[in-house]
Amino acid sequence: MEPAAYSRSPLGTQFVLLTYAYQNGEIFTDSSLPLRDVRVKVSSASLAYGRTFGLAGRQASIGFFLPYLKGRASGTVFEERQEVTRSGQGDARVRFTSNLIGSPALSSKEFAAYKPRTVVGVSITIIVPTGQYEAVRLVNLGSNRWAFSRNWDCRNRQGDGPWKWRPGPGCLRPTRIFSAAHGVSRND
């Protein structure tokens, strides 16, 4: 949702992002479904906002993401050629991130003087079912279900900490370890 979610930032740093994406191509479907030759063209614009703050002496942030989508899908459904166009709001996202190690909550002045170290952060993203959804439609912009993603990230700065990757003499590279778990609610 915001660039470098686990990167260090001074308290009160704000992110405002406006993004646009265009995608088109074929969709692979389960062969047991009565769908063939499915193609989509989708444009999406998104607005995101994030802000850092201090939590128990560590850097934390919260971010909000609101997508708007417009697209066309075509394909053969039950041996009949179909085409549909949809336009509207997609599912909103909210993400909370906290750096647990190596990223104390710092003012701008303190941040400028701080020497970077290994950072370990955690986050949870909640996908809120705010997008357009109608159960009778085959193509929807929303998912009609809550979804959750829990992540952790360990990032080592060049030459810092016990992990040093040296592909050649005198060459240090940052090391990063990342893990995620995802879950969804029922789609009634």
Instruction: Map out the domains of the chain as residue ranges.
Output: 14-184
Name 109's Cβ contacts closer than 8 Å, sequence gap at least 6: none
H-only helix segments in the chain: 108-113
Q: What is the pLDDT of residues 43-91, one digit of tens each?
A: 999 999 999 999 999 999 999 999 999 999 999 988 899 999 999 999 9
Instruction: Locate 73 and state its tokens.
Output: 């899908």
Residue 177: other Cβ atoms inside 10 A: 11
Q: Judge contact between 77 and 35, C-beta under 8 A.
A: yes
Distance between CA 87 and CA 99 in Å, rounded?
37
Q: What is the pLDDT of residues 96-147, one digit of tens each?
A: 999 888 889 999 999 988 887 778 889 999 999 999 999 888 888 999 999 9
User: Does the pLDDT at position 162 exceed 60?
Assistant: no
User: Does the pLDDT at position 173 exceed 60?
Assistant: no
